Amino acid sequence: MSTGTTLANIRNLLHQSGFKLTPQREATVLVLLENEKDHLSAEEIYMLVKKKSPEIGLATVYRTLEMLTELKVVDKVSFNDGLSRYDVRKEGAKHFHHHLLCLECGSIEEVEDDLLGDVELIVEKKYHFLVKDHRLTFHGICSKCQLKKKEQAVLDKEAAATTLP
Amino acid sequence: MSTGTTLANIRNLLHQSGFKLTPQREATVLVLLENEKDHLSAEEIYMLVKKKSPEIGLATVYRTLEMLTELKVVDKVSFNDGLSRYDVRKEGAKHFHHHLLCLECGSIEEVEDDLLGDVELIVEKKYHFLVKDHRLTFHGICSKCQLKKKEQAVLDKEAAATTLP
DNA sequence: TTTATATTAATAATCATTATAAATTAAAAA
DNA sequence: TTTTTAATTTATAATGATTATTAATATAAA
Ligand SMILES: [Mn+2]
Ligand SMILES: [Mn+2]
Ligand SMILES: [Zn+2]
Ligand SMILES: [Zn+2]
Protein backbone atom coordinates (compact mmCIF):
# COMPACT_ATOMS: atom_id res chain seq x y z
CA MET A 1 0.00 0.00 0.00
CA SER A 2 2.96 2.31 0.44
CA THR A 3 5.15 3.85 -2.22
CA GLY A 4 7.33 4.98 0.67
CA THR A 5 10.79 4.11 1.82
CA THR A 6 11.35 0.45 2.76
CA LEU A 7 13.98 -1.36 4.76
CA ALA A 8 15.24 -3.03 1.56
CA ASN A 9 15.69 0.34 -0.14
CA ILE A 10 17.63 1.67 2.77
CA ARG A 11 19.80 -1.45 2.97
CA ASN A 12 20.73 -0.99 -0.69
CA LEU A 13 21.44 2.68 -0.21
CA LEU A 14 23.76 1.96 2.71
CA HIS A 15 25.61 -0.73 0.75
CA GLN A 16 26.01 1.56 -2.22
CA SER A 17 27.58 4.10 0.11
CA GLY A 18 29.94 1.55 1.65
CA PHE A 19 28.11 1.03 4.94
CA LYS A 20 26.54 -2.11 6.30
CA LEU A 21 23.13 -2.47 7.83
CA THR A 22 24.11 -3.77 11.26
CA PRO A 23 21.42 -5.10 13.61
CA GLN A 24 21.56 -1.84 15.56
CA ARG A 25 21.15 0.24 12.44
CA GLU A 26 18.35 -2.00 11.24
CA ALA A 27 16.50 -1.66 14.55
CA THR A 28 16.85 2.13 14.36
CA VAL A 29 15.62 2.27 10.78
CA LEU A 30 12.63 0.07 11.66
CA VAL A 31 11.62 2.37 14.48
CA LEU A 32 11.80 5.33 12.12
CA LEU A 33 9.67 3.56 9.49
CA GLU A 34 7.12 2.40 12.05
CA ASN A 35 6.70 5.99 13.20
CA GLU A 36 7.08 7.89 9.96
CA LYS A 37 4.26 10.30 10.76
CA ASP A 38 5.94 11.29 14.00
CA HIS A 39 8.77 13.68 14.64
CA LEU A 40 10.85 11.81 17.15
CA SER A 41 13.88 13.12 18.96
CA ALA A 42 17.09 11.07 19.25
CA GLU A 43 16.22 10.20 22.83
CA GLU A 44 12.70 9.07 21.88
CA ILE A 45 14.09 6.93 19.07
CA TYR A 46 16.62 5.46 21.49
CA MET A 47 13.86 4.47 23.91
CA LEU A 48 11.84 2.78 21.15
CA VAL A 49 14.88 0.98 19.73
CA LYS A 50 15.74 -0.33 23.20
CA LYS A 51 12.48 -2.29 23.20
CA LYS A 52 13.72 -4.27 20.20
CA SER A 53 17.42 -4.32 21.11
CA PRO A 54 17.86 -3.53 24.79
CA GLU A 55 21.66 -3.59 24.51
CA ILE A 56 21.93 -0.69 22.07
CA GLY A 57 23.79 2.46 23.12
CA LEU A 58 22.57 6.03 22.78
CA ALA A 59 25.69 7.08 20.88
CA THR A 60 24.98 4.43 18.25
CA VAL A 61 21.53 5.86 17.69
CA TYR A 62 23.03 9.32 17.29
CA ARG A 63 25.64 8.02 14.84
CA THR A 64 23.02 6.14 12.84
CA LEU A 65 20.80 9.21 12.66
CA GLU A 66 23.74 11.28 11.49
CA MET A 67 24.46 8.74 8.74
CA LEU A 68 20.82 8.58 7.67
CA THR A 69 20.69 12.36 7.55
CA GLU A 70 23.82 12.39 5.39
CA LEU A 71 22.20 9.88 3.03
CA LYS A 72 18.98 11.93 2.95
CA VAL A 73 16.96 9.03 4.33
CA VAL A 74 15.82 11.31 7.13
CA ASP A 75 15.63 15.06 7.53
CA LYS A 76 16.81 16.68 10.72
CA VAL A 77 14.37 19.35 11.79
CA SER A 78 14.07 21.71 14.72
CA PHE A 79 10.83 23.17 16.01
CA ASN A 80 12.42 25.62 18.46
CA ASP A 81 11.94 23.30 21.42
CA GLY A 82 15.64 22.91 22.03
CA LEU A 83 16.29 19.55 20.40
CA SER A 84 16.51 18.00 16.97
CA ARG A 85 13.82 15.77 15.53
CA TYR A 86 14.05 13.30 12.69
CA ASP A 87 11.61 12.94 9.83
CA VAL A 88 11.68 10.08 7.32
CA ARG A 89 11.91 11.51 3.83
CA LYS A 90 9.18 10.13 1.58
CA GLU A 91 10.69 8.01 -1.19
CA GLY A 92 8.76 9.54 -4.08
CA ALA A 93 8.68 13.16 -2.93
CA LYS A 94 11.33 15.36 -4.52
CA HIS A 95 10.68 18.17 -2.09
CA PHE A 96 10.64 18.16 1.67
CA HIS A 97 7.16 18.42 3.10
CA HIS A 98 5.97 21.26 5.31
CA HIS A 99 4.70 21.48 8.87
CA LEU A 100 1.87 23.08 10.77
CA LEU A 101 2.88 23.59 14.39
CA CYS A 102 0.03 24.34 16.79
CA LEU A 103 0.97 26.96 19.38
CA GLU A 104 -1.78 25.72 21.73
CA CYS A 105 -1.35 21.95 21.86
CA GLY A 106 2.05 21.50 20.22
CA SER A 107 0.76 19.09 17.58
CA ILE A 108 2.55 18.93 14.24
CA GLU A 109 0.60 18.27 11.06
CA GLU A 110 2.27 17.42 7.76
CA VAL A 111 1.60 19.16 4.46
CA GLU A 112 2.69 17.15 1.45
CA ASP A 113 1.52 19.64 -1.18
CA ASP A 114 4.25 21.22 -3.24
CA LEU A 115 3.60 24.84 -2.35
CA LEU A 116 6.92 26.53 -2.93
CA GLY A 117 7.53 26.11 -6.66
CA ASP A 118 6.81 29.72 -7.56
CA VAL A 119 8.53 31.05 -4.48
CA GLU A 120 11.71 29.14 -5.30
CA LEU A 121 11.73 30.58 -8.81
CA ILE A 122 11.55 34.11 -7.40
CA VAL A 123 14.40 33.39 -5.00
CA GLU A 124 16.57 31.93 -7.76
CA LYS A 125 15.90 34.82 -10.14
CA LYS A 126 16.06 37.75 -7.74
CA TYR A 127 18.75 36.56 -5.33
CA HIS A 128 20.73 34.29 -7.65
CA PHE A 129 20.53 31.65 -4.96
CA LEU A 130 20.60 28.02 -6.07
CA VAL A 131 17.91 26.30 -4.04
CA LYS A 132 18.63 22.72 -2.93
CA ASP A 133 16.14 22.24 -0.13
CA HIS A 134 13.82 24.12 2.18
CA ARG A 135 12.29 24.21 5.63
CA LEU A 136 8.82 25.66 6.01
CA THR A 137 6.81 25.61 9.21
CA PHE A 138 3.66 27.55 9.91
CA HIS A 139 2.96 28.50 13.50
CA GLY A 140 -0.68 28.86 14.43
CA ILE A 141 -3.80 27.19 15.81
CA CYS A 142 -4.86 23.75 14.62
CA SER A 143 -8.49 23.03 13.76
CA LYS A 144 -9.08 21.06 16.98
CA CYS A 145 -7.83 23.90 19.17
CA GLN A 146 -9.91 26.43 17.22
CA LEU A 147 -13.00 24.36 18.03
CA LYS A 148 -12.00 24.02 21.65
CA LYS A 149 -11.60 27.80 21.89
CA LYS A 150 -15.01 28.43 20.34
CA GLU A 151 -16.70 26.03 22.77
CA GLN A 152 -14.89 27.66 25.69
CA ALA A 153 -16.09 31.07 24.56
CA VAL A 154 -19.69 29.81 24.62
CA LEU A 155 -19.23 28.38 28.14
CA ASP A 156 -17.70 31.64 29.34
CA LYS A 157 -20.63 33.60 28.01
CA GLU A 158 -23.11 31.30 29.77
CA ALA A 159 -21.19 31.56 33.05
CA ALA A 160 -21.17 35.36 32.83
CA ALA A 161 -24.93 35.35 32.21
CA THR A 162 -25.64 33.34 35.39
CA THR A 163 -23.28 35.12 37.83
CA LEU A 164 -23.98 38.69 36.78
CA PRO A 165 -27.75 39.23 36.75
CA MET B 1 16.53 56.85 7.74
CA SER B 2 15.01 53.79 9.37
CA THR B 3 11.38 52.89 9.82
CA GLY B 4 12.64 50.07 12.02
CA THR B 5 12.41 49.31 15.69
CA THR B 6 13.98 51.90 18.02
CA LEU B 7 15.09 51.86 21.61
CA ALA B 8 12.25 54.24 22.51
CA ASN B 9 9.66 51.92 20.96
CA ILE B 10 11.01 49.00 22.89
CA ARG B 11 11.10 50.96 26.15
CA ASN B 12 7.42 51.81 25.70
CA LEU B 13 6.55 48.25 24.87
CA LEU B 14 8.28 46.98 28.01
CA HIS B 15 6.55 49.56 30.19
CA GLN B 16 3.16 48.70 28.69
CA SER B 17 3.83 45.08 29.63
CA GLY B 18 4.86 45.95 33.17
CA PHE B 19 8.62 45.56 32.76
CA LYS B 20 11.31 48.18 33.15
CA LEU B 21 14.18 48.85 30.82
CA THR B 22 17.07 48.25 33.19
CA PRO B 23 20.61 49.22 32.12
CA GLN B 24 21.35 45.54 31.40
CA ARG B 25 18.26 45.17 29.27
CA GLU B 26 19.02 48.43 27.48
CA ALA B 27 22.56 47.30 26.68
CA THR B 28 21.23 44.02 25.31
CA VAL B 29 18.62 45.74 23.16
CA LEU B 30 21.23 48.15 21.81
CA VAL B 31 23.49 45.30 20.75
CA LEU B 32 20.57 43.69 18.97
CA LEU B 33 19.67 46.92 17.16
CA GLU B 34 23.29 47.60 16.18
CA ASN B 35 23.49 44.16 14.60
CA GLU B 36 20.02 43.76 13.18
CA LYS B 37 21.24 42.18 9.96
CA ASP B 38 23.07 39.47 11.90
CA HIS B 39 21.76 36.31 13.49
CA LEU B 40 23.58 36.29 16.79
CA SER B 41 23.48 33.51 19.35
CA ALA B 42 22.94 34.24 23.06
CA GLU B 43 26.65 33.75 23.70
CA GLU B 44 27.61 36.14 20.88
CA ILE B 45 25.17 38.74 22.21
CA TYR B 46 26.59 38.27 25.70
CA MET B 47 30.13 38.92 24.44
CA LEU B 48 29.05 42.11 22.66
CA VAL B 49 27.02 43.35 25.63
CA LYS B 50 30.03 42.80 27.92
CA LYS B 51 31.94 45.45 25.96
CA LYS B 52 29.34 48.03 27.02
CA SER B 53 28.58 46.63 30.48
CA PRO B 54 31.36 44.28 31.58
CA GLU B 55 29.54 43.34 34.78
CA ILE B 56 26.52 41.77 33.06
CA GLY B 57 25.78 38.07 33.62
CA LEU B 58 25.04 35.50 30.93
CA ALA B 59 21.79 34.46 32.60
CA THR B 60 20.54 38.03 32.40
CA VAL B 61 21.13 38.05 28.67
CA TYR B 62 19.20 34.80 28.35
CA ARG B 63 16.34 36.17 30.45
CA THR B 64 16.22 39.38 28.45
CA LEU B 65 16.17 37.47 25.17
CA GLU B 66 13.34 35.31 26.46
CA MET B 67 11.37 38.41 27.39
CA LEU B 68 12.02 40.08 24.05
CA THR B 69 10.93 36.92 22.26
CA GLU B 70 7.75 36.87 24.31
CA LEU B 71 7.07 40.49 23.35
CA LYS B 72 7.81 39.72 19.69
CA VAL B 73 10.64 42.22 19.59
CA VAL B 74 12.92 39.43 18.43
CA ASP B 75 12.33 36.10 16.75
CA LYS B 76 14.16 33.03 17.98
CA VAL B 77 15.37 31.00 15.04
CA SER B 78 17.36 27.84 14.61
CA PHE B 79 19.44 26.96 11.56
CA ASN B 80 20.20 23.38 12.54
CA ASP B 81 23.59 24.28 13.98
CA GLY B 82 22.66 23.30 17.50
CA LEU B 83 21.94 26.67 19.04
CA SER B 84 19.29 29.39 18.93
CA ARG B 85 19.81 32.67 17.18
CA TYR B 86 17.93 35.93 17.63
CA ASP B 87 16.60 38.14 14.89
CA VAL B 88 15.19 41.63 15.46
CA ARG B 89 11.69 41.80 14.06
CA LYS B 90 11.29 44.74 11.69
CA GLU B 91 8.82 47.26 13.07
CA GLY B 92 6.78 47.73 9.91
CA ALA B 93 6.79 44.16 8.60
CA LYS B 94 3.70 42.18 9.51
CA HIS B 95 5.28 38.94 8.42
CA PHE B 96 8.56 37.39 9.46
CA HIS B 97 11.20 37.56 6.76
CA HIS B 98 12.80 34.52 5.17
CA HIS B 99 16.34 33.20 5.02
CA LEU B 100 18.72 31.82 2.44
CA LEU B 101 21.26 29.55 4.12
CA CYS B 102 24.31 28.69 2.03
CA LEU B 103 25.39 25.08 2.47
CA GLU B 104 28.94 25.92 1.31
CA CYS B 105 29.94 28.99 3.34
CA GLY B 106 27.20 29.11 5.99
CA SER B 107 26.17 32.67 5.14
CA ILE B 108 22.60 33.72 5.78
CA GLU B 109 20.88 36.18 3.50
CA GLU B 110 17.57 37.83 4.34
CA VAL B 111 14.53 37.94 2.08
CA GLU B 112 12.04 40.64 3.01
CA ASP B 113 9.59 39.96 0.19
CA ASP B 114 6.20 38.70 1.26
CA LEU B 115 6.23 35.39 -0.60
CA LEU B 116 3.81 33.24 1.36
CA GLY B 117 0.48 35.03 1.00
CA ASP B 118 -1.01 32.51 -1.43
CA VAL B 119 0.53 29.57 0.38
CA GLU B 120 -1.01 30.66 3.68
CA LEU B 121 -4.43 30.92 2.07
CA ILE B 122 -4.15 27.34 0.83
CA VAL B 123 -3.11 26.12 4.26
CA GLU B 124 -5.99 27.94 5.96
CA LYS B 125 -8.57 26.68 3.46
CA LYS B 126 -7.41 23.08 3.04
CA TYR B 127 -6.15 22.31 6.56
CA HIS B 128 -8.35 24.69 8.56
CA PHE B 129 -5.21 25.85 10.27
CA LEU B 130 -5.15 29.43 11.57
CA VAL B 131 -1.76 30.81 10.57
CA LYS B 132 -0.11 33.19 13.04
CA ASP B 133 3.51 33.11 11.90
CA HIS B 134 5.94 31.16 9.77
CA ARG B 135 9.54 30.05 9.41
CA LEU B 136 10.93 29.64 5.91
CA THR B 137 14.55 28.89 5.14
CA PHE B 138 15.95 27.83 1.80
CA HIS B 139 19.06 25.68 1.83
CA GLY B 140 21.30 26.02 -1.19
CA ILE B 141 24.31 27.76 -2.74
CA CYS B 142 24.72 31.52 -2.51
CA SER B 143 25.74 33.54 -5.57
CA LYS B 144 29.30 34.02 -4.31
CA CYS B 145 29.85 30.31 -3.83
CA GLN B 146 28.36 29.55 -7.24
CA LEU B 147 30.95 31.88 -8.77
CA LYS B 148 33.75 30.33 -6.73
CA LYS B 149 32.71 26.88 -7.94
CA LYS B 150 32.68 27.95 -11.56
CA GLU B 151 36.16 29.48 -11.29
CA GLN B 152 37.43 26.34 -9.58
CA ALA B 153 36.01 24.20 -12.39
CA VAL B 154 37.98 26.28 -14.94
CA LEU B 155 41.20 25.90 -12.91
CA ASP B 156 40.65 22.15 -12.62
CA LYS B 157 40.22 21.85 -16.38
CA GLU B 158 43.46 23.80 -17.00
CA ALA B 159 45.37 21.64 -14.53
CA ALA B 160 44.11 18.47 -16.19
CA ALA B 161 45.19 19.82 -19.59
CA THR B 162 48.80 20.42 -18.43
CA THR B 163 49.38 17.16 -16.50
CA LEU B 164 47.79 14.78 -18.94
CA PRO B 165 49.18 15.49 -22.39
C1' DT C 1 12.64 54.96 56.72
C1' DT C 2 10.89 50.48 56.51
C1' DT C 3 9.07 46.92 53.78
C1' DA C 4 7.95 44.47 49.78
C1' DT C 5 8.95 43.43 44.99
C1' DA C 6 11.71 43.06 40.94
C1' DT C 7 15.99 42.24 39.05
C1' DT C 8 20.57 40.78 38.86
C1' DA C 9 25.21 38.19 39.21
C1' DA C 10 27.35 34.19 40.17
C1' DT C 11 27.16 29.70 39.97
C1' DA C 12 25.29 25.08 40.05
C1' DA C 13 22.44 21.90 37.64
C1' DT C 14 20.43 19.96 33.66
C1' DC C 15 19.84 18.41 29.07
C1' DA C 16 21.26 17.34 24.39
C1' DT C 17 25.01 16.08 21.85
C1' DT C 18 29.77 14.72 20.79
C1' DA C 19 34.29 12.63 21.80
C1' DT C 20 37.07 8.90 23.63
C1' DA C 21 38.68 4.44 24.57
C1' DA C 22 38.24 -0.30 25.20
C1' DA C 23 35.69 -4.30 23.55
C1' DT C 24 33.32 -6.73 19.89
C1' DT C 25 32.22 -7.98 15.32
C1' DA C 26 32.93 -8.65 10.58
C1' DA C 27 35.80 -8.79 6.62
C1' DA C 28 40.37 -9.66 4.38
C1' DA C 29 44.71 -11.83 4.15
C1' DA C 30 47.71 -15.51 4.96
C1' DT D 1 41.25 -22.23 9.28
C1' DT D 2 44.00 -19.01 11.81
C1' DT D 3 45.77 -14.32 11.83
C1' DT D 4 45.36 -9.64 10.90
C1' DT D 5 42.98 -5.51 9.85
C1' DA D 6 39.22 -2.45 9.74
C1' DA D 7 34.58 -1.23 11.08
C1' DT D 8 31.39 -0.84 14.57
C1' DT D 9 29.60 -0.67 19.08
C1' DT D 10 29.11 0.11 24.12
C1' DA D 11 29.96 2.56 28.07
C1' DT D 12 31.30 6.57 29.76
C1' DA D 13 33.44 11.04 29.97
C1' DA D 14 33.43 15.61 28.18
C1' DT D 15 31.41 19.48 26.15
C1' DG D 16 28.29 23.21 25.09
C1' DA D 17 23.92 25.45 25.44
C1' DT D 18 20.38 26.57 28.41
C1' DT D 19 17.87 26.77 32.79
C1' DA D 20 17.41 26.86 37.83
C1' DT D 21 18.90 28.49 42.27
C1' DT D 22 20.33 31.57 45.64
C1' DA D 23 22.06 35.44 47.77
C1' DA D 24 22.81 40.26 46.85
C1' DT D 25 21.19 44.63 44.98
C1' DA D 26 18.20 47.95 43.16
C1' DT D 27 13.66 49.91 42.80
C1' DA D 28 9.04 51.02 44.19
C1' DA D 29 5.39 51.19 47.76
C1' DA D 30 3.84 51.92 52.31
MN1 LIG E 1 7.21 15.84 8.97
MN1 LIG F 1 16.94 37.27 9.60
ZN1 LIG G 1 -3.75 22.45 18.59
ZN1 LIG H 1 28.03 30.62 0.16
Position B161 confidence tier, pLDDT thresholds 50, 70, 90: confident
pLDDT score, position B83:
94
Q: Which of B128, B129, B142 sits opposite A129 (nearest CB)?
A: B142
Distance from the Cα of B162 to chain A's closest Cα (Å) equals 32
Checking if the pLDDT of B146 tops 90, the result is: yes
- At A165, the pLDDT band (50, 70, 90 cuts) reads low
Span A1-92 CATH architecture: Orthogonal Bundle (1.10)
Strands B130-141 and B98-102: parallel
Strands across the sheet containing A108-111: A108-111, A98-102, A130-141, B130-141, B98-102, B108-111
Q: Using 50, 70 and 90 to split pLDDT, how confident is the model at A3?
A: low
Element of type H or E holding A12: helix A7-16
A60 touches strand D (CB under 7 A): yes
B22 nearest nt, CA–C1': C7
Mean pLDDT of B69-81: 93
B83 CB-to-strand D distance under 7 Å:
yes
Does residue A59 sit at the B interface (CB-CB below 8 Å)?
Answer: no
Work out the number of other CB atoms within 10 angstroms of the CB of residue A86: 23
Is the per-residue pLDDT at B68 higher than 90? yes
Mean pLDDT of chain B: 92
pLDDT band at A160 (very low <50, low <70, confident <90, very high): confident
CB–CB of A115 and B113 under 8 A? no
Q: Which CATH code is given to the segment(s) A93-165?
A: 3.30.1490.190
d(CA B103, CA A17): 21
Is the pLDDT confidence value at B150 over 70?
yes
Q: Where are the domains of chain A?
A: 1-92, 93-165
Tell me the pLDDT band of B1, cut-offs 50, 70 and 90.
very low
What Cα–Cα distance (Å) separates residue B45 from each residue in B50, B76, B132? 9, 13, 27
By percentage, how much of chain A surpasses pLDDT 90? Answer: 82
